Amino acid sequence: MRYIFIFLISLLFSLNLQAKDYKYSERTGNCYTDIFWKIKSEKYWVLLETQRGQETYTTTNDLHLNSLEWHLINRAKKTDIVAKRQKNLIKISGVFKSKPIEKSLKIDKDPWYQPMSFSLSKLSKSKKKAVTFWTLNPNDLKPYKMKALNYGKETISINGKEVKTYKIKIILAGFRSLFWHAFYWYRADDDTLVQYKGVDGPPTSPITVINLTEESF
């Protein structure tokens, strides 16, 4: 039944009237990677397709951008898993790093954002100053409770152009907030992610910067 549901969802989105395509450039030290987003909106769902190297993510979200289902394929790591939220559980099945996996992760009533870079765009113009949520680490599939803080408007320079944005700070929830943070900037006009800055590894790791480079509708 799950595969029939996925097929029906895919069929609905194939009939969608409009898709939005975005290209991002990721730089960590001297390493560069292109990231591609395709966003498709339907009456009841929003679908995000992400391509990053040999990784492909497909996320089905509700209209508030809360994640409902996440399909991860990583050919280099021999991974093909589906994670699906059912109330306060995230159920994972498939193959992870060549090994079959079938597990349920306990969370609470807070939303699940996968990836958070996409779902948090809803916070930018919100009256909320903060929100807590869950996300999964693609490297080990562990759930992490996160907190996003709305810093309000900020004008930044991207590709030589001044852009009015909303700035969002991301931290780990609880005492772990002391050990890591990152920032997202969303364009004020339409909530599009335009920049990310953070350290994606140990404290000594080089900073990762992601910038929007191309878009088409």
Is the pLDDT confidence value at 114 over 70?
Answer: yes
Q: Provide the domain count of the chain.
A: 1
Of residues 10, 40, 26, 4, the one with CA closest to residue 195: 26
Expressed as residue numbers, the domain containing 6 is 2-216
Is the pLDDT confidence value at 4 over 50?
Answer: no
Q: Give the mean model confidence (pLDDT) for residues 116-125.
A: 93
- Position 142: which residue type? K
* Residue 26, domain CATH: 2.50.20
Q: Under 8 Å CB-to-CB from 11, ≥6 apart: which residues?
A: none
What are phi and psi for residue 206, nearest 5 degrees? -70, 155
Do the beta carbons of residue 135 and residue 143 sit within 8 Å? yes
Of residues 9, 11, 34, 7, the one with CA closest to residue 23: 34
Q: Give the mean model confidence (pLDDT) for residues 71-94.
A: 97
Q: What is the pLDDT of residues 100-109, one digit of tens each?
A: 999 999 999 9
Q: What is the pLDDT of residues 7-61, one digit of tens each?
A: 444 444 444 446 899 999 999 999 999 999 999 998 899 999 999 999 999 999 9
Of residues 135, 133, 79, the one with CA closest to residue 109: 133
Q: How far is C-alpha 81 from the geometric centre of its chain's CA atoms? A: 16
Helix (H), strand (E) at residue 98:
none
pTM for the model: 0.88
